[in-house]
Structure 1
Amino acid sequence: MQRSDQSAQSSRTPRLYLSVAQDLLAAMAAGEYVSGVRLPGDRDLAARLDVSRTTVREAILALELIGAVEVRHGDGTYVRGPHGGVAGIEGSALDVAPRELIEARRSLEPVVAGLAATRIDTDRLRSLTRDLDEATEIVADPSRLPRFMELGLRFHADLALGCGNTLLAGIVGQLVDAETHPLWLLVNQHAVSSPQAREGQLHQHREVLGAIASGDAARAAAAMTTHLASVDAVIFHPATSDRSTS
């Protein structure tokens, strides 16, 4: 988890606070910081993670916005339950953007999956399969959550590149880009903090890819529709869904 502000400037993920927030979520999923526990202060976290206190504060703010932590002024920052605040983002500053984002994805990605079933090439299928295989290897390791999330979002972006329509592929790529939608990435990671949720995501991704590989456009579109409905449910209605997201 060690990194420096300076080294991050040359990395492909310039938003350092996002990486810090992801690492803290991974530590929560691993049981290092359990529900109800107070996190170390920003000075201690900054020293532990080798970043500035400003970066830590930005990461904590992002985690507070998605409901992963509760900041009690004058007392400290406390870890909330796995789904304690994700459902509660309705009506918050995050409500409009995530709802519009998932609405756009539910409208576009089933169409893209259907097109990919008839147009995707063998090399891209192999690449997608390799990414799913890697995700399978790390699915049970909560410390690898940031990488698991990266692979999940890349699955959607790379699949879209196989649809044969550069405009649609570009739109989907923007919708699942972590830099464009950093808080959405954190909402997703918070929602798949349990191994069961991550297994569910993998299963759904394999269903989509299997339909595309078989050339069945209708089944591919239906599988993507099911998957994105699950994304919606687990983000906004976690009490009634323990499925996956990506």
Structure 2
Amino acid sequence: MSDQSDQQRAPRLYLSVAQDLLTAMAAGEYILGVRMPGDRELAARLGVSRTTVREAILALELIGAVEVRHGDGTYVRGPHAGVAAIEGSALDVAPRELIESRRALEPVVASFAATRIDTDRLRGLTRDLDEGAEIVAEPSRIPRFMELGLRFHSDLALGCGNSLLAGIVGQLVDAETHPLWLLVNQHAVSSLQAREGQLRQHREVLGAIASGDAARAAQAMTAHLASVDAVIFNPAASDAATRGDA
């Protein structure tokens, strides 16, 4: 029984360590280009095994947050490194497949929600966005900000009036089902600019739904998920577009 319980906790443990390291990077504890402490030191600091630290570093390498130079150490790559070459990862379904699926489904869900969502759910979504706005500038609160962001999508889907679509979207944004996706998202919003952009886009989606405009809700969700795609897979182009360079 104990072995089974340990196996169930193990994936969440490496994910928790990886999240802690990403939060430390966003807070400036580990800056771009700097070599991180070795796995023995990190294990001691974080109170976990060296194996768990290695799994966390592997996940961070897969999402582009760090570069592992064999024989030299692990170096921080920063928030502008795109995600690539992880389609065969044993850690999770490829994030590229997840975002592709979400881009196909969630605009439809948003359009349905515009005519079917109830007042209580709208209030709950608004409260979550307000909480996100309160913590958006705090690097130490990024895990909570991410939790609120993913919950926005799953709770919005619950208001679309179609339980099958709501269940599918809920699975696509579930951190336990897709742990690597959570890390990808957290890495993508490590900058304040990215977090503020996500919050603004969520408000645009919710505003369209609250006004009952199905077409505008679908358009806002389409634009939001296209932005998520760009931030994750082509961050340089996304930064240029935000600055007005492209």
TM-score (norm 2): 0.89
Q: Does the 8 Å CA contact 1:33/1:79 hold for their aligned counterparts? A: yes
SS in 1 for 2:20: helix
1:122 aligned partner, one-letter code: T
In 2 relative to 1, CA 13–55 (structure 1 residues): closer, same or farther, beyond 3 Å? closer
Q: Residue 139 of structure 1 aligns with which residue?
A: 136
Moved more, 185-194 or 167-176: 185-194
Q: Residue 93 of structure 1 aligns with which residue?
A: 88
How far apart are residue 93 of structure 1 and its match?
A: 3.3
- CA–CA distance in structure 2, aligned partners of residues 96 and 62 of structure 1: 13
Q: Does the 8 Å CA contact 1:117/1:211 hold for their aligned counterparts? A: yes
In 2 relative to 1, CA 76–184 (structure 1 residues): closer, same or farther, beyond 3 Å? same
How far apart are residue 96 of structure 1 and its match?
A: 7.7
- CA–CA distance in structure 1, aligned partners of residues 49 and 166 of structure 2: 37
Correspondent of 2:185 among 184, 188, 192: 188
Correspondent of 1:117 among 95, 105, 114: 114
Alignment of 1:40-189 (within 5 A): 40-84=37-81, 86-87=82-83, 89-90=84-85, 93=88, 97-189=94-186
How far apart are residue 50 of structure 1 and its match?
A: 1.7
Report Cα offsets for 1:13-56 as digits up to 9, x if no partner.
96111111011011101111001111111122112112222211
- CA–CA distance in structure 1, aligned partners of residues 38 and 10 of structure 2: 25
1:101 aligned partner, one-letter code: L
Q: Residue 5 of structure 1 aligns with which residue?
A: none
In 2 relative to 1, CA 139–226 (structure 1 residues): closer, same or farther, beyond 3 Å? same
- CA–CA distance in structure 2, aligned partners of residues 215 and 115 of structure 1: 9
- CA–CA distance in structure 1, aligned partners of residues 58 and 175 of structure 2: 17
- Give the aligned length: 234
- Aligned Cα root-mean-square deviation (Å): 2.3
SS in 2 for 1:81: coil
Unaligned stretches of 5+ in structure 2? Answer: none
SS in 2 for 1:22: helix
Unaligned stretches of 5+ in structure 1? Answer: 1-7
2:180 aligned partner, one-letter code: L
In 2 relative to 1, CA 96–59 (structure 1 residues): closer, same or farther, beyond 3 Å? closer
How far apart are residue 136 of structure 1 and its match?
A: 0.7
Q: Does the 8 Å CA contact 1:83/1:190 hold for their aligned counterparts? A: no
2:71 aligned partner, one-letter code: G
In 2 relative to 1, CA 91–155 (structure 1 residues): closer, same or farther, beyond 3 Å? closer
SS in 2 for 1:154: helix
Q: Residue 208 of structure 2 aligns with which residue?
A: 211
How far apart are residue 239 of structure 1 and its match?
A: 1.2
- CA–CA distance in structure 2, aligned partners of residues 55 and 12 of structure 1: 11
TM-score (norm 1): 0.89
In 2 relative to 1, CA 91–64 (structure 1 residues): closer, same or farther, beyond 3 Å? closer
Q: Residue 222 of structure 1 aligns with which residue?
A: 219
SS in 1 for 2:40: helix
Q: Does the 8 Å CA contact 2:204/2:220 hold for their aligned counterparts? A: yes
